[in-house]
Amino acid sequence: MTSTWKSLLPKLSFQILCVLIAVLSLYPVVWMIASSFKESARVFAESHSLLPQVWNFSNYARGWKGFAGITFATFFTNTIVIVLLSTLGALLSCSLIAYGFARIKFRFKGFWFATVMVTMLLPSQIILIPQYIIFYKMQWINTILPLVVPAFFGSAFFIFLIMQFIRTIPYELDESAKMDGCNRFGIYLKIIIPLIVPALVTSAIFEFYWTWDKFYEAMIYLGKPKMYTVSVALRMFADPSSQTDWSAMFAMASLSLLPPVIVFFIFQRYIVDGISTTGLKG
């Protein structure tokens, strides 16, 4: 019994530690969801209590009405359109660029790859003002173009992830396709793309998350309420000059968590496959 207990103790301690970390991580989310059913005036007055004394389901209906005559259906639609277009652009551009770096030989290949990787070190705040000036001169302000078009020019993180995945594919498949008369684009479309689906799905999920959570970019470029995304619309609930409807804001914030959570549980297998496989060959 003593030896068995000693062998189980490290595993048991690890499991307990994981449970504690999970509870600490999930508690703010659970608190927000529980607060969405409380009266707005009682949210912080009863912050120590997780479960509300009275469950007010009407908070969701009140929050869904939005503001300025615009419901949250519009904000969710705007966000979904931006997310889908950005995700499509990221997959198209990053997969094509990654294929070029992984399979095509050209001059200064190492230099250009290093240049792409260095862009990951640039904080988004540094390029925000130059980008705004460019988009302003192109008359793209108050449109979704500043939030969508940059995704069609690639992302260093996704390029690296997909490139590492492509390197795990035997080069003999490319040679066989060339013997059958397939050009480079045909190899990319018919050979590479079907084999890198896990990496593409992983990139799509991360792009989905990051675009869904974008706040500063959406707040800067979208000045019309009808074009607001969910993140900006949630910010509009907070009114420092009057009383903030916290319960309605928490209700809509809880609903905004549903799409990312659903996407994660549907495609979580691809996340593991995509990330783990990229490290097999460097």
The set of residues, in sequence order, having a beta carbon less than 8 Å from that of 196 and lying 6+ positions away, is: 95, 162, 165, 166, 169
Give the three-class secondary structure for 67.
Answer: strand
Which residue, among 273, 67, 274, has the nearest Cα to 158 in the 3D structure?
Answer: 274
What pLDDT is attached to residue 216? 87
Q: What is the pLDDT of residue 135?
A: 94
Q: Label residues 153-184 b or e (16+ Cβ within 10 Å = b).
A: ebbbbbbbbbbbbbbbbeeeebeebeeeebee
- 84-123 core/surface letters (b: 16 or more CB in 10 A; e: else): ebbbebbbebbbbbbbbbbbeeeeeeeeebeebeeeeeee
Return the CATH fold of 63-277: MetI-like fold (1.10.3720)
Give the pLDDT score at 282: 42
Residue 271 burial class via C-beta count within 10 angstroms: exposed 0-12, middle 13-18, buried 19 and up: middle
Please answer whether residues 250 and 36 qualify as being in contact, where contact means their C-beta atoms are separated by less than 8 angstroms: yes
Backbone angles phi, psi at 201, to 5 degrees: -65, -40
This prediction has a pTM of: 0.86
Instruction: Please list the pLDDT of the chain residue by residue as tens digits (282 residues).
Output: 556 666 677 788 888 888 899 888 888 888 898 888 888 888 887 777 788 888 888 889 988 988 878 899 999 999 999 999 999 999 999 999 999 999 888 888 889 999 999 988 888 888 888 999 999 999 999 999 999 999 999 899 999 999 988 988 888 888 888 888 888 888 888 889 988 888 898 899 999 999 998 888 899 999 888 999 999 998 887 765 567 788 888 999 999 999 988 888 887 777 666 555 554 444
pLDDT for 211 equals: 92
Close Cβ partners of 112 (under 8 Å, ≥ 6 residues apart):
none
pLDDT at 228: 92
Distance in angstroms (rounded) separating the CA atoms of residues 179 and 176: 5
pLDDT for residue 69: 85
Using CA atoms, how far apart are residues 237 and 258, in angstroms rounded to an integer?
19
Note the pLDDT of residue 235: 85
Residue whose C-alpha is closest to residue 79's, from 202, 208, 204: 208
Residue type, 217: E
- Count Cα atoms within 13 angstroms, Cβ side, for 266: 9
